[in-house]
């Protein structure tokens, strides 16, 4: 009987994770700086690595995310596969791979995953080849290593599609929140301004949130009313989606 | 300078295509029978094969589909990657691979694509290792080779999501069609009955279709009115989707 090395690496397949967080004001993404390699300018990257032969893709994504950033038990959804033959061939990326990978010239196809988490619950702890791991403002991301900018944009597109199809926010906002916080969450994901009054009307019509008999205290402006999600309706909406046709 | 074999095969990555067709009554999927291997019972499969090293994934999917079924120039969208370590290890699948593949024990990850086409425009022509290629009723598909049943179901799910988010039908129905045909298209994709009157009301409200001053002729029942898609509104809906929020 052949005894397999438990962690035989598959040098052709990697996984990358796009973890979105919300700081109650703006949307952020968890990025790493990779271990420095001489002559390669530092560039941020998505947490990602090669998979093991015995893992399925979902398991690999969870393991890699944990190894590089410390984030554990995250519900990850697949974005898709990215397999351009030149996706890791930019000169600086190539140099970096030559310094760290066993088979730096192999064509590597990556399977990307994404998630949306409450940033306050997750303090990133870089390890493995991640020198740092931090929450970067989506608006500040202009380029990334490899084809990670393309992957990041594809994940953002998925998130925007999702927000149009099902409720979002339960895991992202505190138990009680102001309408303004909910509004900012939606604006930051969609990347554009939303008319406040319309937004409020739509949210209340969906019965997704309900007002609490409680207002902000100790704020320098007129205190806002607190709201909470209506769990029952939220779950119902999650199940049937916002589908317009009502099929 | 290294001259690369133009068609170097990547033995770790394959692509599979789920091509849906509509026969004006029911939804079908394009399946192949593979070249027979002694001792392996025949089982239908999705058209799929290993990719070439110089291809990106989209190109590979188009090429493989054409090679096996003759279908060309199909707009393919990615379903996702399927990478269970045991996805090709059912005994009969393994035997088939041992007979036809160079490296039958390699772990192969597949990237699946799907499309929805007008069956009448595409007469499948099997070639390569496909012994036959034919349009099979979705309702008749109970099992497939490898993990193809799982892939088929994931593609069907994507199609159902899509029908809730954007108009469908322009490439699937004749230029003039009856409401009953449109209704059947939606029912066959969603896999359940839709109240006829509600469906009609919703479609007309969306301004997706408009009635023609023309009725069926020579039919054994009361002739139905013909409709056509309102191209301008159809395209507008395609762009903005049916998003309920109107963001």
* Phi, psi at A186, each rounded to 5°: -65, -45
Q: How confident is the model at residue B58, as a pLDDT?
A: 97
Distance, CA of A62 to CA of A50 (rounded, Å): 12
pLDDT, averaged across chain A:
91
Query: Average of pLDDT values for B143-160?
Result: 96
Distance from CA of A104 to the nearest CA of B (A): 15
Closest CB from A85, A244, A247 relative to B56: A85
Per-residue pLDDT tens over the stretch A87-114: 999 999 999 999 999 889 889 999 999 9
This prediction has a pTM of 0.91
Strand partners of residue B225: B215
Q: Which of A4, A83, A190 to mutate to test the interface with B (most CBs of B within 10 A)?
A: A83
What values do phi and psi take at B157, rounded to 5? -60, -45
Say if residue A74 is in the same domain as residue A115. yes
CB contact under 8 A, B83 and A111: yes
Q: What is the pLDDT of residues A193-202, one digit of tens each?
A: 999 999 998 8
Residues in CB range of B97: below 8 A, 6 or more apart: B88, B104
With beta carbons under 8 A apart, name residues in chain B contacting A205. Answer: none
A197 membership: H or E segment, kind and range: helix A196-205
Mark yes or no for CB contact A244/B245 under 8 Å.
no
Residue B82 tokens, joined: 């399927």
For the segment B130-156, the average pLDDT, to the nearest whole number, is: 97
Please tell me whether residues B42 and B160 are part of one structural domain.
yes
Residue A49, phi then psi, degrees to nearest 5: -165, 175
Residue A4 lies in a domain: no
Find the residue in B nearest to A193 (Cα): B247
CATH number of the domain where residue B229 is located: 1.10.10.10
Q: Are residues B99 and B210 in the same domain?
A: no
Is A203 found in the same domain as A114?
A: no
Do both A233 and A122 map to the same domain?
no
Domain boundary, last residue among B165, B186, B219: B165
Q: Which residue has the tokens 């409709």?
A: B227
Low-confidence ranges of chain A (pLDDT < 70): 1-6, 242-247
On the 0-12 / 13-18 / 19+ scale of CB atoms within 10 A, A58 is: middle
ipTM value? 0.88
A206 CB contacts (<8 Å, ≥6 apart)?
A167, A233, A237, A242
Summarised one tens digit per residue, pLDDT across range A14-44 is 999 999 999 888 999 999 999 999 999 999 9
On the question of pLDDT at B171 being above 90, the answer is no
Residue B206 sits in the same domain as residue B143: no
* Statement: residue B149 has pLDDT above 90: yes
Please indicate, yes or no, whether residues B148 and B181 belong to a single structural domain of this protein.
no
The predicted pLDDT at position A118 comes to 87
Q: Report DSSP letters for A107-121, one per residue.
A: --EEEEEEEEEEGGG
Residue A226 belongs to domain spanning: 177-240
**pLDDT (tens digit per residue) in B30-78:** 999 999 999 999 999 999 999 999 999 999 999 999 999 999 999 999 9
Interface of B with A (CB under 8 A): 10, 12-13, 51, 53-57, 78, 80-85, 107, 109, 111, 161, 163-165, 186, 190, 194, 198, 202, 241-247
Of B81, B109, B164, the CB nearest to A241: B164
CA distance B181 to chain A (A): 17
Residue A126 distance to chain B (closest CA, Å): 27
Specify the CATH number for the domain of residue B55: 3.90.79.10
Q: Quick one: B156 and B224 in the same domain?
A: no
Distance CA B33, CA B44 (A): 5
Do B131 and B96 share a domain, yes or no? yes
Burial (0-12, 13-18, 19+ Cβ within 10 Å), B37: middle
Is it the case that residue B1 has pLDDT exceeding 50? no
Residues of chain A in Cβ contact (below 8 Å) with chain B: 10, 12-13, 51, 53-57, 78, 80-85, 107, 109, 111, 161, 163-165, 186, 190, 194, 198, 202, 241-247
Q: For residue B193, give every residue at least 6 positions away whose Cβ sits within 8 Å of its Cβ, in sequence order, or none.
A: B187
How many percent of chain A have pLDDT more than 70?
A: 95
With beta carbons less than 8 A apart as the criterion, state whether A115 and A189 touch.
no
How many H-runs (helices) and E-runs (strands) does chain A carry? 6, 10
The number of folded domains in chain A is 2
- Secondary element (H or E) of residue A69: helix A57-69
Helix or strand holding residue B52 (H, E): strand B48-52
Residue of B nearest to A200 (CA): B245
pLDDT band at B5 (very low <50, low <70, confident <90, very high): low
Nearest CA in chain A to B109: A13
Do A247 and B190 make contact, defined as CB atoms within 8 angstroms? yes
Q: How far is Cα A66 from Cα A45, in angstroms, rounded to an integer?
A: 15
What is the sign of the dihedral through the CA atoms of B161, B166, B167 and B170?
Answer: negative
At residue A133, the 3 state secondary structure works out as strand
Domain membership of residue A110 (yes or no) is: yes
Q: Which residues of B touch A198 (CB under 8 A)?
A: 246
A117 and A57 co-located in one domain: yes
Could A109 and B246 be called an inter-chain contact, meaning their C-beta atoms sit closer than 8 Å?
no
Please compute the mean of the pLDDT values over residues B162-181 and round it to a whole number.
88
Two tokens at A213? Answer: 């008999």
- Pairwise CA distance, residues B125 & B123, whole Å: 6
């Amino acid at each position: 009987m052949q005894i397999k090395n438990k962690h035989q690496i598959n040098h052709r397949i990697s996984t990358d994770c796009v973890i979105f967080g919300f700081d109650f004001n703006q949307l952020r993404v968890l990025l790493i700086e990779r271990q420095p390699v001489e002559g390669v300018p530092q560039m941020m990257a998505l947490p990602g690595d090669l998979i093991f032969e015995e893992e399925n893709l979902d398991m690999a994504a969870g393991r890699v995310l944990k190894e590089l950033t410390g984030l554990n038990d995250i519900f990850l959804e697949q974005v898709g596969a990215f397999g351009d033959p030149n996706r890791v061939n930019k000169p600086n990326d190539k140099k970096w791979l030559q310094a760290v990978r066993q088979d730096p010239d192999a064509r590597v196809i990556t399977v990307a995953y994404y998630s949306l988490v409450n940033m306050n619950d997750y303090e990133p702890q870089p390890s493995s080849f991640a020198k740092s791991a931090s929450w970067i403002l989506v608006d500040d991301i202009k380029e990334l290593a490899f084809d990670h900018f393309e992957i990041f944009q594809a994940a953002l597109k998925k998130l925007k599609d999702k927000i149009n199809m099902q409720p979002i926010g339960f895991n992202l906002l505190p138990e009680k929140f102001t309408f303004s916080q909910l509004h900012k969450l939606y604006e930051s994901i969609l990347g554009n301004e939303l008319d406040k009054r319309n937004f409020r009307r739509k949210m209340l019509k969906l019965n997704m949130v309900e007002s609490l008999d409680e207002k902000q205290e100790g704020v320098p402006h007129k205190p806002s009313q607190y709201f909470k999600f209506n769990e029952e309706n939220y779950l119902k909406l999650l199940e049937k989606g916002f589908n317009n046709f009502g099929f």
